Amino acid sequence: MATLFQGLAAVTPLSPSNSIESNKLLFSSRRSLSERKGNNFVVRSDAKVNKVLKSGAARKHELLIPNAVATQGSSSVASASKPGHELLLFEALREGLEEEMERDPTVCVMGEDVGHYGGSYKVTRNLAEKFGDLRVLDTPIAENAFTGMGIGAAMTGLRPIIEGMNMGFLLLAFNQISNNCGMLHYTSGGQFKIPVVIRGPGGVGRQLGAEHSQRLESYFQSIPGIQMVACSTPYNAKGLMKAAIRSDNPVILFEHVLLYNLKERIPDEEYVLSLEEAEMVRPGEHVTILTYSRMRYHVMQAAKTLVNKGYDPEVIDIRSLKPFDLHTIGNSIKKTHRVLIVEECMRTGGIGASLTAAITENFHDYLDAPIICLSSQDVPTPYAGTLEEWTVVQPAQIVTAVEQLCQ
């Protein structure tokens, strides 16, 4: 293994630069952006959402979509006239990864089927042909081994991206992530940096069963020394990927299995997002709704009904799961004085529980009502579709919770 990384170092000398059903994801051969046509899952831009909300008086009795993920349809003329280029979320992740691999020869990728197969969700497609088998390294089915290998590579000066084929599989590498990835910078007295990115698909999909429907945010949040972010749009997926790769800290990037085919127009010019900032999705006055990942779309679906009922919710995608952006969150709470947390993570010991504690400690005097947290039920995710829906927060529950808060 030492020979392998000596070879990698020789090829790339160290540089001082720093919803769709997952079982039906089929990707055709690589095409240019101008050739991509047909129906795609399209992210609603903030402007479009606001426009729909303001003109929704005639649709007060519109039914909620129980499994809201995104809006399906072809691109509008207005969208086509905007600068930039359209990408699906998995393509945005790949574009960010490819740009960083071109910029910095120490960036490399490792994981199961990431090479010539292109990854289970095609995030690394065509990268092996471009950068070679040493920088895009296929590994055996041995998560603990290749995660440890990536951490060791980071200690020697490389910047590895470790892909878990499914985030649930990374439980097999928990020892490496906890005892080495998060702690080695401290336990070595600062002699080693661990600039590693751990990423992969997770969350409740479409009847993937309990073992493939894990939400590991709650597992990893207690590990000292690790940052955690969750992407929810193609724009922030690319920006967070690039920021995570450039960070000298170990970063876990959570991607939701149902969001890979979300489509959005992103800038042509390079951009990098902050790993520690939340995103204001919808400004409002009556209640602060904190959410992330797939639940962002459940919340925005509920927001249409809430506006029709006379409520004005403020929606924040927290994005940074560790640390929390308490500046953005606090400013919102000081304005609305009410908080609803919506997450897909488990209720016991989840991100919502930690966020509730942080808000209570820092902004208790600004609250006019108790914090409400809507989380997945503390049960293994059922395989049956109808039961699966019952375990995850749905838009109708969000509407009811806001009405309760604003009484």
Question: Which residues are identified as catalytic?
Answer: 143, 212
Rounded Cα distance, 402 and 175, in Å: 40
Phi and psi angles of residue 71, each rounded to the nearest 5 degrees, phi first: -90, 135
What sign has the CA pseudo-torsion 313, 314, 317, 323? negative
Query: What are the beta bridge partners of residue 199?
Result: 163, 253
Bond preceding residue 323 cis, omega within 30 of 0: yes
Residues 6+ apart with CB under 8 A from 123: 90, 93, 94, 97, 163
Burial class (CB in 10 A: 0-12, 13-18, 19+), 141: exposed
68 close to 298: Cβ distance less than 8 angstroms: yes
Which three-class secondary structure state does DSSP give residue 382?
Answer: coil
Q: For residue 254, what are its two tokens?
A: 């959570």
Q: How many residues does the chain have?
A: 407
Q: What is the dihedral of CA 390, 395, 397, 398, to 10 degrees?
A: 140
At residue 278's C-alpha, the angle toward residues 314 and 371, to 5°, is 50
Identify the residue whose tokens are 């308490």.
326
Rounded Cα distance, 189 and 203, in Å: 36
Residue 274: which of 217, 198, 344, 327 has the closest Cα? 327
Q: Which amino acid is at 206?
A: R
Helix or strand holding residue 88 (H, E): strand 85-88
